[in-house]
Chain A
């Protein structure tokens, strides 16, 4: 394949379009949070979200949450094509309200955790994760 100036410009334009796309996701983060909390106020504290500062591979990013006294914890990835990641619902036999998993991140973005406490209040925590290689195929 020959490299032409026109070809190079087309590739460049494509890259710009791809980098703009994730911003569409932001509105749906608010929707997902509202669906989970029912519009309740979000507090701070009592929820620990552990993420790596830099993830070399966006396909498997280790994440853990710890929220003593929580009933459920929802994870969201603000910059993914679809922000929902997972929801942990803790049952009566849960030894601690903490869990770890591995998630996909499309690029550098904020990972958000929302915990529903047993008294009905909600708390929020978020961390930025820098992703070297995105994990959504693209």
Chain B
């Protein structure tokens, strides 16, 4: 398992019903591409996050399939609709089977 993986997510605390909001996510992860070699010339095995999913109250917002060409510390920015208050759930799936989760709630005022 990759060490020190820490998800960071930016979601506005509140919005008006029906608003479109911008969400920014970043997760610290080395995203080893499997192309690099160590000082002895051995290939460093691939170890990346291969999928990122964001759901709002159980409905899908975005589902990203990732390949090794995504940079270290994968960053995503996207738009979501907020018809009512609720919770955004963010899930990252690692090559090694680990799953990293984060949740943020939003209120509608």
Contacts and interface: CB of A to CB of B under 8 A. Distances in A.
A132 B92 CA distance: 31
Interface stretch (A5-13, A97-105, A112-120): A97-105
Contacts of A99: 62, 64, 76-78
Q: Tell me whether chain B's interface is mostly helix, strand or loop, or mixed.
A: strand
B69 A103 contact: yes
B70 A102 contact: yes
A84 B27 CA distance: 21
B61 A102 contact: no
A101 B76 contact: yes
Interface stretch (B1-9, B33-41, B96-104): B33-41
Given A88-B64, A89-B64, A136-B35, A95 B79 contact: yes
A86 interface: yes
Contacts, number: 107
Interface size class of A (residues with CB under 8 A): 20 to 34
A136 B70 CA distance: 11
A137 B78 contact: no
Interface string B33-73: 10111000000000000000001100111111111111110
Interface residues of B, number: 31
Interface string B6-46: 00000000000000110000000000010111000000000
Interface string A45-60: 0000000000000011
Given A94-B78, A98-B79, A137-B35, A84 B67 contact: yes
**Which residue, B71, B74, B77, has most C-beta atoms of chain A within 10 A?**
B71
A120 B63 CA distance: 19
Nearest to A137: B36
A88 B70 contact: no
Contact of A86 (B55, B56, B69, B72): B69
List the 5 closest A-B pairs by CB distance, nearest first: A91-B60, A137-B36, A95-B20, A95-B79, A96-B79
Interface of B: 20-21, 33, 35-37, 55-56, 59-72, 74-82
